[in-house]
Amino acid sequence: MADNIIMPQLGESIAEGTIVKWLKNPGDQVKKDENILLISTDKVEAEIPSPSTGVLLNIAVGPGQTVAVGTVLGQVGAANEVSQKVSLTTPPPSLPELHVNKAEPVAVPVAAPPQKSGDMSSFFSPLVRRIAHEHGIKEQELASIDGSGRGGRVSKNDILSYLATRTSVPKTAIPSLQAEISDSDREIKKPVSTMRRVIMENMMASRATSAHVTTFFEIDYTAIDKVRAAYKDQFKQDEQVSLTYTTFLAAAVCQVLKRHPYINASLTKESISFKKDIHLGMAVAIENPEPGLMVPVIKNADKQNLRGLAHAINDLSSRVRARKIKPDELSGGTFTITNPGNYGAIIGTPIINQPQVAILGVGHIKKQAIVLEVDGTDVIAIRKIGLLGLSFDHRLVDGATADIFMADLKRTLETWTSAP
């Protein structure tokens, strides 16, 4: 019985992907979990593993083609299996993330053989093509750029390096946002990218779906600051990552979510799903190829200690910005943390990441003079203070439920004593 190779879900908001390159030819032997093709979207580029050990029987979708999530890309099976035509009809969108469907022995009219490594210089990823379009680089000029990627393929760095030394730019080029606007051109018009269009649609869909309400709590981080001060240098030396406030927040959220199932849930018109596992989404801002936001997910975050969470946060955020994140690391979250405080924001009112029912916004943490009562006397003290804002879906989460969760989170953070 052959295994279908299916276009996976490249994040919860992505509906299609582009075949960059097949790493194997029909008839080649493959092992289970061995990478056999490279796919790309505006958000992520990832290698897809073989669903089983056997032979690559056929290829249904060739390099350069863009197809919907759930599309059959090819098949792996025994060398003696007989092939029939594979339908490229997209299955319903309820397929799991890395879809591997068992199928009767089938095959496709074999697509054009995948490009050999020496031919890859003639293939350009969607990202490279978009940069070329924005700067008025035609196909012939693009093909003249020396590529440093696999098989001579032109990478983003290659085209950016080329642009830095390019002496003439056609007048038809769309100017970069970083370029100065001349006196005669007082605005720049730029096509809406696929990534931005997806963000736009998701934000509007979330606002239309959930009844958004936000509650705010003031947090005294003094207890956590004492732990950080005692261990951050040793932690940095031993673990090679920083012991950040975000790490403590992630750990505290995981503890508290276990006690508040209505916050770690999802909702449809027919049912409420209470999640036993805590898969923590961590919003990461990106700048290239344009400003945007991605939400990688720490799976089973509640099973990790501070050290594990620190490494997971550092690893995922680094690979998101390097566009090396894996498809299944962008989906499946049950609760999300976003930290506009990193940029100095006092607080924000984040939009819920569907189908979740709540998201935590973290405000800027700074020293403040506050009034404390000590032995019945009011005194002024300097404390590390910041705001947290919980946006929640009022269809499921009542105000009291949200405030009880936040009070528990506040108490957990303000009484922290354990070392990393």
Catalytic residue of the set 311, 315, 394, 403: 394
Q: How far apart are CA 240 and CA 307, in angstroms?
A: 10
Sequence-ordered list of residues with C-beta below 8 angstroms from that of 364, at least 6 positions apart, any chain: 341, 344, 345, 346, 386
Please indicate whether residue 398 is annotated as part of the active site.
Answer: yes
What is the residue type of 411?
R
* 355 contacts 329 by C-beta, under 8 angstroms: no
In angstroms, what is the C-alpha Rg of the chain?
25
Sequence-ordered list of residues with C-beta below 8 angstroms from that of 269, at least 6 positions apart, any chain: none
The Cα-based distances of 256 to 107, 214, 415 in angstroms read 50, 18, 13
Residue with tokens 């995922």: 316
Query: How long is the chain?
Result: 420
> Tokens at residue 144, please?
């003249």
Element (H, E) at 228: helix 222-239
* 225 contacts 218 by C-beta, under 8 angstroms: no
Q: How far apart are CA 251 and CA 284, in angstroms?
A: 18
Q: Half-sphere exposure of residue 308, counting CA atoms within 13 Å on the CB side?
A: 10
Residue 101: is it exposed, middle or buried by C-beta count within 10 angstroms (0-12/13-18/19+)?
Answer: middle
* 14 contacts 198 by C-beta, under 8 angstroms: yes
* 58 contacts 110 by C-beta, under 8 angstroms: yes
Strands 358-362 and 377-393: antiparallel
Strands 280-282 and 45-49: unpaired
Please, which residues bridge with residue 214 across strands? 391
- What are the residue numbers of the active site? 394, 398
